Amino acid sequence: MDQETVLKNFFPGKTFTKSQFRKAVHALNPEYAESSINWLLEKLKKENQIIAVGQGKYERMSDMAEKNQYGYTHSKEYRDIERKITKEYPLVEFQMWELIQFNEFVNHQIAKNLIVVEVENMLEETVFDTLHREYPYVLYSPQMEYYYRHKGEENTVVVLKLISEAPKPREGHSSRLEKLLVDLFTSKFTGYLIEKSEYPAIMEDAFHKYYLDTTKMFRYARRRNVETKMKAFIRQETNVQLTPGE
């Protein structure tokens, strides 16, 4: 099978599905078996010619050379809190992120940081009590009015419940970008932290700069009841092209 000819069917910047890949292969060889198609996909991934960006979804590496996996170098206070929770509660599932992470994507830079700790259900109050003994400005699942009234002069730490089905961190306990993007569209805490006028730039930069697992992202959006809202915003307010069927 001439894999280069197959890949020429897929244009720069476009995600393609396994079904579309199968169609391109069968256009060259209608007898090509499903097992051989699976083998070819794995071969192309191992050769770094394509990357999986979701279940049954791929992008050409050569076309997306400027994209990277998202990562962020966290603050010292973030790392101290992460170590403390890990030491005190080694079996607790939790994720963390910082508000200043969004400075990469927004026009109006965020000056005062906020560290968010999201802890599995039933244990978030326990973690809050532990952090509150050491850090002066730790708030537990605050309403926005309470947050703005009681946040610290410098760093504030907020403890929230971790929603089930949130995408798992790639490294440590740092929340994935897919999760942070979804949470912007919720009516809960995160959805009020950044001006809505910043959302188009955030979404466009995130999709342009980084590989996003849209399958995980929209599954989590469905869990948070914002899938329809988020997809409509992306289609209507940004230049991001979602894969057909999404």
Domain stops at, among 26, 60, 94: 60
The answer on 163 and 87 residing in a single domain is yes
Q: What angle do CA 161, 54, 100 make, to 5 degrees?
A: 45
Rounded Cα–Cα distance for residues 171 and 210 (Å): 16
User: What are 215's two structure tokens?
Assistant: 């399958």
How high is the mean pLDDT of the chain?
90
Question: By residue range, what is the domain housing residue 127?
Answer: 76-237
Confidence of residue 31 (pLDDT cuts 50, 70, 90): confident
Residues 114 and 25 in one domain: no
Checking if the pLDDT of 83 tops 70, the result is yes
Domains held by the chain: number = 2
pLDDT tens for each residue of 2-20: 777 888 887 655 678 888 9
Tell me the C-alpha to C-alpha distance, in Å, between residue 75 and each of 6, 79, 80, 182, 195.
45, 6, 9, 23, 23
Q: What is the pLDDT of residue 30?
A: 87
- Identify which of 86, 12, 6, 81 has the alpha carbon closest to the alpha carbon of residue 47: 6
pLDDT at residue 232 tops 60: yes
Interval 109-154: pLDDT, tens: 998 999 999 999 999 999 999 999 999 899 999 999 999 999 988 7
What whole-number distance in Å separates Cα of residue 139 and Cα of residue 199?
Answer: 26
What tokens were used for 89? Answer: 């509660």
What percentage of the chain exceeds 90 in pLDDT?
61
pLDDT reported for residue 13: 58
Q: Which two tokens stand for residue 190?
A: 């995160």
> How many other CB atoms sit within 10 Å of the CB of residue 179?
24
